[in-house]
Amino acid sequence: MPVDRRLERQSALRGLLEQEGLDGLLITHLPNIRYLTGFTGSAALLLVWPDATVLLTDFRYAAQAPSEVGTSAAVEIDPVSTWDRLKRICADRAEETLGFEAHALTVRDAGRLRDCARRTAPAGELVERLRATKAPEEVQAIEAAAALAHAALAEVLPGVRVGDAERDIAARLEFALRRRGSEWHPFQTIAASGPRAALPHARTSERCVGRGEWLLLDFGAEVDGYCADLTRTVVVGARADERQRVVYEVVEAAQRRAREQVRPGMTGREADALAREVIASRGFGEAFGHSLGHGLGLEVHEAPRLSAANDQPLPAGAVVTIEPGIYLPDWGGVRLEDDVHLGPEGPRCLTDGRTELIELV
């Protein structure tokens, strides 16, 4: 039977609220609500007080919410307005300070909140702070999603041919993911070929892959709500030329160094430097413009950040992506991405870590 950590997580959150001087927290970010209660619906508010946890949702989830939430929270269904119900609940706590997720609350909902609670205060990303450290079953779910992603890629890659459209390749990959059990796609699949591989966040297009061109595939899978994120770059229809080999070898060396040496406790800046130093030393520093990676879990982008702008230490137990790249306009680009768990015995790759150059000839 899966370990149920919801009450444990709520208790840890109450400890953070006490540290912040808050009497309660209104949670509106759906992944945070799922983390604390198990609720997977698309509309809900969650109140966490020292003595109670209350989930408010609407008629669509009258059966689903109690089933998913169980005893982790009291469930209140309002057929008209969850915000009106929130106002009635908060009326009994008028003198208490209710924190809210300032990073997630819309301007419209901030106005609604002012009508519901007399005393409010913006809270930091408190639930995200808890989510950054993964329990064993969370790591297992990410690893299972990664296995699905690799299996789908192994099915699709041998069939890629010169002349295939990026969109068709992406569609075949997404079908293979779903057929193997991926709950959904954590983000839009990127299939970028030729010079379009120089676009770090390219939108998959109708462009057809040319002979000897790069094909960059960035995609993910989802198991039990947890995401895997994988990028591989291959050459289609020919052997790689010398320039392609040089660029690929630099990215592979940078990615391998970061993947093997990243540790909990080092700052996001220090982790980023592991790969950036390798790329810069080979003269491609300006061609690596994004950060090394990001946290992974219920969202495909979450804490912590492996970035030159992050001076905070990486928490033990986090799962992060390691994804350096080199992008050269009008020529193409290479990115390699694997998912790594920052465990007590050192980094462990949850993806297969096989980054040797693939030439589809």
Per-residue pLDDT at 2 exceeds 90? no
Tokens matching residue 172: 């075949």
pLDDT confidence of residue 1: 64
% of the chain with per-residue pLDDT over 70: 100
DSSP codes joined into one string, 297-324: SSSSSEEEEESTT--SBPPTT-EEEE--
Instruction: Supply the mean pLDDT for the chain.
Output: 97
**136-193: pLDDT as tens digits:** 999 999 999 999 999 999 999 999 999 999 999 999 999 999 999 999 999 999 999 9
For the chain, give the percent of residues with pLDDT over 90.
Answer: 96
Sequence ranges of the domains in the chain: 6-131, 136-360
The residue that leads in pLDDT, 2 or 344, is 344
pLDDT-derived band of residue 345, with 50, 70 and 90 as boundaries? Answer: confident
Task: Name 51's Cβ contacts closer than 8 Å, sequence gap at least 6.
Answer: none
For the cut 90, the answer to whether the pLDDT of residue 94 exceeds it is no
Residue 311 near residue 136 (C-beta atoms within 8 A): no
Q: Which residue has the higher pLDDT, 94 or 18?
A: 18
Give the type of residue at 339.
D
The mean per-residue pLDDT over the stretch 255-281 comes to: 98
CATH class of 6-131: alpha beta
Average pLDDT over every residue of 61-70: 98
- DSSP letters for 121-189: EEE-SHHHHHHTSPPHHHHHHHHHHHHHHHHHHHHHGGG--TT-BHHHHHHHHHHHHHHTT--S-SSPP
Query: What are the beta bridge partners of residue 142?
Result: none
- What's the rounded mean pLDDT across residues 48-59? 97
* Statement: residue 344 has pLDDT above 90: no
The CATH number fitting domain 136-360, selected from 3.30.43.10, 3.90.230.10, 3.40.50.1010, 3.40.50.2300: 3.90.230.10
Please say if the pLDDT value at position 82 is more than 90: yes
Which pLDDT does position 33 carry in this prediction?
A: 98
Q: Which two tokens stand for residue 113?
A: 């909140």
